[in-house]
Structure 1
Amino acid sequence: MQTTPIAWKIVIDAEDPHRQAAFWAAALHYQLEDHSALIEHLLTAGAVGEQEILDFQGHRAWRDLAAVRHPEDPHDPGSDTGLGRRLLFQRVSEPKTTKNRLHLDLHPTPGERENEIARLEKLGASAQRRVVSAGSEWHIMTDPEGNEFCLH
């Protein structure tokens, strides 16, 4: 029986994974992963084709995948893939149609909620509503593709 904790990442379906990754990197102050060295290696080896690649912010990137990682967590230097707290965005063909079954809760510095709402809105988020319940308060927001998240 395995007793070592299992590594994980959160995978989020997206219409545009690169736009979503750029938003969440800025929103969380995370590092946008740069997979260009790995991509060049795989292209040279013939393991992937140009149809799987695009140019994003001056770097070669996966057409259908983009990721962000916590800047202080370990990462693989050869691929820039995060080995800790990480969000991976994958392109899907179908649009978002219902409420998320899973969402992120963001907890800014105490007293900074209103400033954080304004900052996130400048990045492309939308404030949906304020919730007050049992002595607690938070705001429901959506990212640029309409995925809900909460700001406490």
Structure 2
Amino acid sequence: MACRIGELVIDAVDPERLAAFWGEVLGFVEVGREGGGSVEIGPPGVGFGGPQPTLLFIPTTDPRPAKLRLHIDVNPTDRDQDEELERLLALGARRADVGQGEDASWHVLRDPEGNEFCLLRQRLDAV
């Protein structure tokens, strides 16, 4: 038997704000809180242990490293890529240039704390 990802833990200056942003991006809801200001979000009605990993935002005052070694890729589920890009920008995402070039089929964005993520073109079924 192999492992699977149960949750992704993300350091955040403002866990509430980042949890709210990613909750809107992914359609997740708050599934728990831990001491010290941590906020966990996940799929509605499922929570931790379901087929998708939850996201746990933990408070930090450490400065963000220059470039993260891991980033999240997201795919639209109920609209095309251009419509989803507009929705993400309206939620507070910002465009980012990491050298992807103008002919890239994906968009590189930053969340409200500057963490890079990509919006891919292919539409996926909502889980």
Q: Note the aligned Cα RMSD (angstroms).
A: 2.6
- How has the CA–CA distance of structure 1 residues 28 and 110 changed in structure 2, closer, same or farther, with 3 Å as cutoff? closer
**Which segment is superposed worse, 119-128 or 21-30?**
119-128
Length-normalised TM-score, structure 1? 0.66
Q: Does 1:98 align with 2:66?
A: yes
Q: Kindly provide the amino acid, as one letter, of the partner of residue 143 in structure 1.
A: D
What's the offset of the Cα at 1:131? 3.8
**TM alignment of 1:3-152, pairs within 5 A:** 3=1, 5-6=3-4, 8-35=6-33, 62-71=35-44, 73=46, 75=47, 82-84=48-50, 85-109=53-77, 112-129=80-97, 131=100, 137-152=105-120
Length-normalised TM-score, structure 2? 0.77
What's the offset of the Cα at 1:111? 6.0
What's the offset of the Cα at 1:122? 1.3
Q: What whole-Å deviation, never above 9, does each CA across 1:75-120 have from its counterpart, x for those lacking one?
A: 3xxxxxx223201011111121311111110011486111111111
What's the offset of the Cα at 1:150? 0.3
Q: Kindly provide the amino acid, as one letter, of the partner of residue 83 in structure 1.
A: G
Aligned residues: 117
Listed as ranges, the gaps of 5+ residues in structure 1 are 36-60, 76-81
Q: Kindly provide the amino acid, as one letter, of the partner of residue 9 in structure 1.
A: E
Runs of 4 or more, structure 1, over 6 Å off, are none
Q: Is the CA contact (8 Å cut-off) linking 2:15 and 2:57 kept in structure 1? A: yes
**Tell me, what secondary structure is at the counterpart of 1:33?**
strand
Bigger radius of gyration? 1
What's the offset of the Cα at 1:8? 2.4
Identity of aligned residues (%): 36
- How has the CA–CA distance of structure 1 residues 15 and 34 changed in structure 2, closer, same or farther, with 3 Å as cutoff? same
